[in-house]
């Protein structure tokens, strides 16, 4: 029988077994393994011992979690300001890791105009689902029977949203007036059971890295680029310096997204 690691604390692993949480240690030969929250394992229930780790379908290094079905990328409309740079980085990484992205917008009540509509319309057009943090019933339906990660920059409202879904009593902090961003409030990754699925609040961070990705992986996981690659002069076109590049020369990509793509590639 496979069991799910829902939390770990140093060398203690909290494993769900038929709705019971067991505090387990690991077999000696597994101590060098990078065991993650989200791993499915086999256990010796009597000894409360993890005896083997089952194959993962995917994993993230930062945050350290595995077997994710989908990820809510939490973006605030204001305070902190809407960040296309963070969003595009995260979408690229999730696509690369075969994790379904869902864009979740918070703090729409603080926005005094429709300045982000052009971005939301574009992301919908290229196939991403967009949801607002006020649509609690819809969010609960989406997370049913799935392992779901909530991630985003500090202060955008991840823990606040989770507390609205269920009273997990997660800590929240106000935005720093000086830095215009929130303090990190979530320290440990933990899976919480909700609607026959699991959700995880992951530590807030202000930058992410394209770990194990090369420039071609980045290009291929800006998903709408694939619609136009056959129109470029060169089959391996990176859409940056090449001549007769359809994407670069015809403005078919939203400007902020194309600029973010060049920056991500450049940051490698």
pLDDT in tens, the chain (268 residues): 579 999 998 889 999 998 899 999 998 888 888 899 999 999 999 999 999 999 999 988 877 889 999 999 999 999 999 999 999 999 999 999 999 999 999 999 999 999 999 999 999 999 999 999 999 999 999 999 999 988 888 889 887 888 888 866 555 444 334 334 444 344 578 898 888 899 886 655 555 667 789 999 999 999 999 999 899 999 999 999 999 999 999 989 999 999 999 999 998 8
35 Cβ partners below 8 Å, 6+ apart? 5, 8, 13, 26, 41, 50, 53
Residues 125 and 237 grouped into a single domain: no
Residues 223 and 123 grouped into a single domain: no
pLDDT at 207: 57
Distance CA(71)–CA(199), nearest Å, equals 9
Residues 197 and 250 grouped into a single domain: no
Residues 229 and 114 grouped into a single domain: no
Residues 82 and 173 grouped into a single domain: yes
Strands 100-106 and 129-132 come out as parallel
Count: domains in the chain: 3
Residues 167 and 99 grouped into a single domain: yes
244 Cβ partners below 8 Å, 6+ apart? 232, 233, 234
Residues 30 and 109 grouped into a single domain: no
Q: Look-up: residue for tokens 């403005």?
A: 251
Structure tokens at 66: 């595995």
pLDDT at 176: 37
Burial class (CB in 10 A: 0-12, 13-18, 19+), 83: middle
List the Cα angle 180/184/187 in 5-degree steps.
Answer: 170
Residues 194 and 225 grouped into a single domain: no
Task: State which residues form the domain around 164.
Answer: 59-201
**Residue (of 181, 164, 184) closest to 172 by Cα position:** 184
DSSP string, 52-77: EEPPPS-EETTTTEES--EEEEEEES
pLDDT at 160: 85
23 Cβ partners below 8 Å, 6+ apart? 12, 13, 14, 48
Burial class (CB in 10 A: 0-12, 13-18, 19+), 183: middle
**Residue (of 72, 70, 98, 67) closest to 5 by Cα position:** 67
pLDDT at 10: 84
- pTM equals 0.86
DSSP H or E run through 109: none
Residues 70 and 112 grouped into a single domain: yes
Residues 18 and 101 grouped into a single domain: no
**Residue (of 75, 101, 136) closest to 221 by Cα position:** 101
Residues 137 and 245 grouped into a single domain: no
CB 176 within 8 A of CB 183: yes
Residues 39 and 75 grouped into a single domain: no
């Amino acid at each position: 029988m496979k069991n799910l690691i829902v939390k770990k604390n140093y060398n203690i692993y909290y494993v769900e077994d038929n709705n019971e949480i067991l505090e387990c240690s690991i077999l000696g030969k597994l101590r060098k393994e990078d065991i993650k929250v989200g791993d499915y394992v086999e256990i010796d229930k009597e000894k409360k011992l993890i005896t083997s780790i089952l194959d993962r379908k995917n994993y993230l290094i930062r945050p350290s979690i595995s077997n994710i079905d989908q990820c809510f990328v939490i973006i605030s409309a204001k305070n902190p300001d809407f960040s296309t740079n963070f969003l595009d980085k995260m979408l690229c990484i999730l696509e690369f890791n075969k994790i379904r992205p869902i864009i979740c917008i918070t703090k729409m009540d603080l926005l005094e105009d429709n300045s982000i509509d052009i971005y939301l319309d574009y992301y919908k057009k290229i196939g991403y689902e967009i949801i607002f943090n006020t649509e609690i019933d819809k969010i609960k339906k989406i997370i049913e029977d799935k392992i779901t990660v909530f991630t985003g920059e500090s202060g955008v409202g991840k823990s606040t949203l989770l507390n609205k879904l269920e009273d997990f009593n997660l800590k929240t902090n106000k935005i720093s007036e000086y830095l215009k961003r929130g303090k990190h409030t979530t320290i440990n990754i933990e899976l919480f059971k909700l609607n026959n699925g699991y959700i995880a609040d992951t530590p807030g961070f202000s930058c992410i890295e394209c770990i194990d990705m090369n420039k071609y992986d980045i290009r291929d996981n800006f998903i709408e680029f694939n619609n136009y690659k056959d129109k470029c002069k060169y089959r391996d076109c990176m859409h940056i310096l090449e001549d007769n590049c359809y994407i670069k020369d015809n403005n078919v990509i939203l400007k902020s997204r194309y600029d973010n793509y060049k920056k991500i590639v450049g940051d490698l």
